[in-house]
Structures are given as C-alpha cells and as structure tokens.
Structure 1
Amino acid sequence: MHLYKTFSILTLIVMMTSCGTTKQTTATYWVNSAKVDCDAGAGKTTCLQVTTADNHENAEWSNFYAPINGFTFEPGFLQKIEVTETKLDSENVPADASSIQYDLVKVLEKITDPKLAIHDIWVATHINGKEIDRTKAPNLEINTTEMRVFGSNGCNNYNGQIKTLTSKTIAFGPIASTRKMCLDMAIPDSYDKALYNTSSYKKDDLTLTFYDENGGEVLRFNKVD
C-alpha cells in the first residue's frame, strides 16, 4: 500500500511537470546593439532585434517580442548568446504572452557595434557630387541607439526612422518634416531626394558619404565639431 501511494505521488509530479512544459531546445542568437519601436499587441513598445545567422554582418534582423530571462541588453554592443527555448503548455499561457520561455545560458561574444562610428551630427558638403553653399547646408543627426535620424534639409526640420543599418548599408523609413516654403528650395528638394535614394555608406575619418543602389554618390557630409 505504501509503495502504491509513493508511485501515485511520483506519477502526479511527473504529470504536473509535463503539463508545465512540453519541449526544450537550445538556440544561438546575435542580439542587435539597438532596440526598435514595435507593436507588442498591448501597445507600442521597444523590442530587441535578433538573428540566427552565424555572422551579424548584413544579417536580416527580426523583432523579438519576448523577454530573455537572465539577459542584459547593452546599447551599442552586439551580443552573441546561447539560450534555451522551452515550449510552454498553451493552456497556462496568457493570450498576449509568448508560448516559448527563453532563458540565457551564456554570452558567447560581445563586441562594440561598428555602426556606432556614424552615431554623430553631420553637415552636408556635397549633393550628387556637387559642392553646395555652406550657409544653406543641410545637417543630419544619426542616432544608432534609437535607430532614428533628425536634422534640417536647409529649410525644413525632419525626423524619421532608420529602417536598415549594417556596417555598409543604410536605408530610411518614412521621414516627417515641417512644411515651410523657403525662397530657394533647390538644395532642400535635392537633399530630400538624395536622402530617400540612399542605400549604402562609407565613413572615412571625418567624412561620411551616402550612395544610391548603383553605387553613385548622393550625399557627402563632414562631422560637426
């Protein structure tokens, strides 16, 4: 009788444990150096971006909506991490929560993000390869931590999101601006078009150059002291 009770208790414990989780696997992620705005279902928030690619260069980043227990995000650093993924019993998971529990095993690698080199304020010197009047020069502030840009096109102020950013490529999301009309709109209009057509960049000391998808120079900037 005692043996039967012991067996029954052990069986109950196993059943309760199996109800809580069903499967556990291990995965490796690169975590991007900046969070991005995202919609997590309960409203706007910020999310990690991760990739399962071996190399973070030119990786396709995906928004990561769930917490990673034990992981500390550090802006400006790319982190390669090993995590366990535990699939939870769907009956015990709230409707707005992840059905997978993520737990940090260890940080495999942590490096300073090379994209931080362009995290600065820049003033335009050339548009489409032609030098412009410095008194009317547009400016650009790049914030790689928030993945946003701010500045003036020489007439109107603007701000927007950086949609894609690697050590070589950059693309901007929708950019909002004021609607003031200036006497000479040639530079502001050319600058806006060039910024829209930007797909890659190169930083050389204190100079930042943007290129279109064909490799043609569209904008050149100098770092603001």
Structure 2
Amino acid sequence: MKLFNKLPIILFASFLSSCSATKETTATYWVNSSKVNCDAGAGKTTCLQVSTTEHYDNAEWTNFYAPIEGFNFEPGYLQKIKVSETTLNTQTTPADASSISYKLIKVLEKKQDPKLALHDIWATTHINETPIESTSNVPTLEINTTEMRAYGTNGCNNYSGQIKNITANTIKFGAMASTRKMCMDMTIPDRFDKAFNTVSTYKKDGLHLILYNSTGDEVLRFKKVD
C-alpha cells in the first residue's frame, strides 16, 4: 500500500528527469570564409555559413544562426571543424534561442579561400568571344566575396544583387536589381545582360576572369581594373 502511494511521485520524478535529459553528439562542418546577412529572431544580423559535405568545392552553404563556443571565425579562411552538439532542455531554453548548444572540439583543416581571387572590379573585354571595341560605357562587374554580392554596369544601367554560391570553378548569381534607363545604343548592354544571365562556371587566368555558360561556352571575359 505504501509503495502504491509513492508510485505517482516516482513516475512524476521520472518524467521530470526525462524532460531535463540532454543528448550529445558530434558533427563535422566546413565553415565558409565569409558571413552573410540574415534574419535571426530579433532582427537582422550576420551569420556563419556551414556545409556538411566532405570537401568545400562541392559545398551547398546554409546559414548557421547559433554560436559555436570556442570557435574563432577568420574572414577569408575556410575551416573544417569538429563540434559537439548538445540538445538542451526545451523547458528551460528561451523560445528564440537554439535548442542545441554547439562547442568546438577541434579545427581539422584551415586554408585560405581561393575564391578571394575574384574579389575585385572587372571590366568587360569580350562578350561571346567578340571583343568590345568601345572604350566608353564599358560593362563592369564588381565581385564582393565578403558580402557575397555583385555590382556593376551593363554599359547603360547599374545592377546589383546577391551571389548565391561560389566554388573553385562555379559561380551562381541571384536576381539582379537594375536601373531602367534607355541609352542611345543598347546593343552592348543587351548582349551583356543576356550573357550574364547564362553564367554557370568561371576561370581566372592571371588578370583575366572568364565566365562560361552551363555547356562550357565562353560568354563573358573581363580584365582586372587597376
């Protein structure tokens, strides 16, 4: 009879114990060399980007909103890290906070990001392998790998927008916002826009940047602006 009376208390204590229990696992991430603007609960901030792929060349980056205890982010460097992931008690975790606590175990690899070589201003020299003869109103492309954004002019209108992803040989631009002027001659601006919208891969050759479409055809060639 006494045991029966204590049974609800034992069950209740067991229930509380299960609610407060934590679970710890480990994971390996590549951390991208630049942060991105992101929305994180209370407002806009900057976030890490991570990928669980084996090699960063094939990375599809996703925003990472939680802090990683002990991790030192270094702009311009790709870092492969091993972290512990501890699932927190949801009853005591604030609603706007992560339910998982992350802690650095070890930096497995660190290297300078090769895509930083694209971080520059480039002037167009060829469209679809045809040289641009004009020396005025030349289309330009500014690649900012820190902000993962692109800016420039098509020779008439200014444009800007997000760079969705860059790997060792691929580049993916997001939608570009543009001004809407009509210039006297729209031949080069129209050709530039059409070519730019097909860009899929790239190659940097010294002071030149060459952009290709998905079938490997050269669509735009640039020279670094001094």
TM-score normalised over the length of structure 1: 0.89
Unaligned runs of 5+ in 1: 1-14
- 2-side partners of 1:85 and 1:139: how far apart? 45
- 2-side partners of 1:18 and 1:106: how far apart? 30
Aligned to 1:171: 172
> Are the counterparts in 2 of residues 40 and 65 from structure 1 also a CA contact under 8 Å?
yes
User: 5 Å matches for 1:130-209?
Assistant: 130-132=130-132, 133-209=134-210
Greater mean alpha carbon deviation, residues 134-143 or residues 119-128: 134-143
Aligned to 1:40: 40
User: 5 Å matches for 1:65-104?
Assistant: 65-104=65-104
Aligned to 1:30: 30
Greater mean alpha carbon deviation, residues 113-122 or residues 62-71: 62-71
- 1-side partners of 2:203 and 2:24: how far apart? 43
The aligned amino acid for 1:69 is E
Deviation of 1:21 after TM superposition, in Å, equals 4.7
Aligned to 1:108: 108
Give aligned-pair identity as a percent: 66
> Are the counterparts in 2 of residues 120 and 141 from structure 1 also a CA contact under 8 Å?
yes
Aligned to 2:9: none
The aligned amino acid for 1:79 is Q
The aligned amino acid for 1:170 is I
Q: After TM superposition, which residue ranges in structure 1, 4 or more long, deviate above 6 angstroms? A: 15-18
What's the secondary structure of 1:192's corresponding residue?
Answer: helix
Query: Size of the alignment, in residue pairs?
Result: 212
> Are the counterparts in 1 of residues 60 and 165 from structure 2 also a CA contact under 8 Å?
no
What's the secondary structure of 1:134's corresponding residue?
Answer: coil
Greater mean alpha carbon deviation, residues 125-134 or residues 34-43: 34-43
The aligned amino acid for 1:32 is N
Greater mean alpha carbon deviation, residues 130-139 or residues 159-168: 130-139
Q: Deviations over 1:142-199 (max 9, x none)?
A: 1111101111111111111101110100011111111111111111111112111101
The 1:158/1:113 distance shift into structure 2, 3 A limit, reads same
Deviation of 1:17 after TM superposition, in Å, equals 8.7
- 2-side partners of 1:97 and 1:204: how far apart? 46
The aligned amino acid for 1:71 is F
The 1:49/1:21 distance shift into structure 2, 3 A limit, reads farther
- 2-side partners of 1:125 and 1:136: how far apart? 12
The 1:202/1:137 distance shift into structure 2, 3 A limit, reads same
> Are the counterparts in 2 of residues 21 and 86 from structure 1 also a CA contact under 8 Å?
no
What's the secondary structure of 1:155's corresponding residue?
Answer: coil
Q: Deviations over 1:34-79 (max 9, x none)?
A: 1122222333322111111121112122211111111121111000
> Are the counterparts in 2 of residues 29 and 82 from structure 1 also a CA contact under 8 Å?
yes
What's the secondary structure of 1:191's corresponding residue?
Answer: helix
> Are the counterparts in 2 of residues 154 and 188 from structure 1 also a CA contact under 8 Å?
yes
> Are the counterparts in 2 of residues 121 and 139 from structure 1 also a CA contact under 8 Å?
yes
Aligned to 1:51: 51
> Are the counterparts in 1 of residues 86 and 101 from structure 2 also a CA contact under 8 Å?
yes
- 2-side partners of 1:216 and 1:173: how far apart? 20
What's the secondary structure of 2:190's corresponding residue?
Answer: helix
- 2-side partners of 1:205 and 1:182: how far apart? 33
- 2-side partners of 1:162 and 1:17: how far apart? 47
1:125 maps to 2:125: yes
- 1-side partners of 2:43 and 2:200: how far apart? 31
